[in-house]
Amino acid sequence: MIHDFISLIFPDNCAACDEVLYKGEQSLCAACRVNLPLTNYHLDNENPLMKRFWGRVPVDHALAYYKFTKGGQVQQILYKIKYDGMKSVARQLGVWYGYDLLKAGFDKKVDLLVPVPLHPRKQCQRGYNQSAFFAEGLSVSLNLANYTSVLSRVSDKSSQTLKSRFERWLNVKDLYKIKDKSFIENKHVLLCDDVITTGATIEACARELLDHGAKQVSVAAIAAAE
Ligand SMILES: [Zn+2]
């Protein structure tokens, strides 16, 4: 009753379309859950995201829940997760996606989850890492451990804007460091991120994991640009 009363005064809204959520709906309304563009990459291992890593870094599976389009509703959801404090939405999407992956047997393919860390300054400003919340959701439905402190992102002191694309790439490559390799040695790691665009971050993290003894690396994101 208290919950009903509170939601009467402060109703939750759909993270995609902003409509007021009905009782029993969480994060997204029923219509958006049906209409948002799923990738279904977990059903096709030669998917477009997988191909993005060919020749760059060996990735076993490349997965994303939604297709990202500029100006679309998925972008709106990601924005709210990042800048409007809606970390619970990231977690909920992880839970839903985790059940899809569970049905496809990913709980047996992967050993543990590692979220892509945030820049320390951003983490401090935002107070949370949205990728860690997504990974936490996945860990609930896949029943796998989520190690949030295996990877760390070192501070980047130089200005990115003054650099060429190549220099920026060289820079990204050394930004992620393993803090404790004992958790990942000889394990299949599912690296979790919010959105994948060029894949440079994933490439750097995956390489760092593989260089420190991870047996295999797969990738899962809330969304990926096609
Ligand atoms: Zn909606």
Banded pLDDT at 219 (limits 50, 70, 90): very high
CA–centroid distance, residue 202 to ligand 1 (Å): 30
Q: Is the pLDDT of residue 158 over 80?
A: no
CA–centroid distance, residue 160 to ligand 1 (Å): 37
Q: pTM score, two decimals?
A: 0.91
Q: 74-78, 114-118, 134-138, 170-174: which has the minimum mean pLDDT?
A: 170-174
- Which residues, other chains included, contact 151 with Cβ-Cβ below 8 Å and sequence gap of 6+? 114, 115, 116, 117, 176, 177, 178, 179, 205, 208, 209
Mean per-residue pLDDT, 127-148: 97
Mean per-residue pLDDT, 168-183: 84
Q: Is the pLDDT of residue 3 over 70?
A: no
Banded pLDDT at 106 (limits 50, 70, 90): very high
CA distance 176 to 156: 10
- Residues within 5 A (CB) of ion ligand 1: 14, 16-17, 29, 32
pLDDT one-digit tens code per residue, 25-45? 999 999 999 999 999 999 999
DSSP symbol at 196: E
Identify the structural domains of the chain with CATH numbers, from first to last: 1-35 (no CATH), 36-225 (3.40.50.2020)
Q: What is the DSSP string of 41-106?
A: GGG-TT-HHHHHHTTTS--S-EEEEEEE-TTSHHHHHHHHHHHS--HHHHHHHHHHHHHHHHHTTH
pLDDT one-digit tens code per residue, 92-101? 999 999 999 9
Q: Cβ atoms within 10 A of the Cβ of 76, count?
A: 15
Phi, psi of 192 (to 5 degrees): -115, 135
Q: Is the pLDDT of residue 156 over 90?
A: no
Is 39 buried (19+), middle (13-18) or exposed (0-12) by CB count in 10 A? buried
Q: What single-letter amino acid sits at 98?
A: G
The better pLDDT of the pair 59, 174 is held by 59
| CB 177 within 8 Å of CB 154 | yes
Tokens 């609930």 found at: 140
CA–centroid distance, residue 10 to ligand 1 (Å): 17
CA–centroid distance, residue 220 to ligand 1 (Å): 23
Task: List the structure tokens of 147.
Answer: 């190690």
Check residue 154 and give its pLDDT.
87
Q: Is the pLDDT of residue 159 over 60?
A: no
Q: Cβ atoms within 10 A of the Cβ of 44, count?
A: 10
Check residue 160 and give its pLDDT.
57
Mean per-residue pLDDT, 72-83: 95
Q: Is the pLDDT of residue 148 over 80?
A: yes
Mean per-residue pLDDT, 46-52: 96
CA–centroid distance, residue 19 to ligand 1 (Å): 6
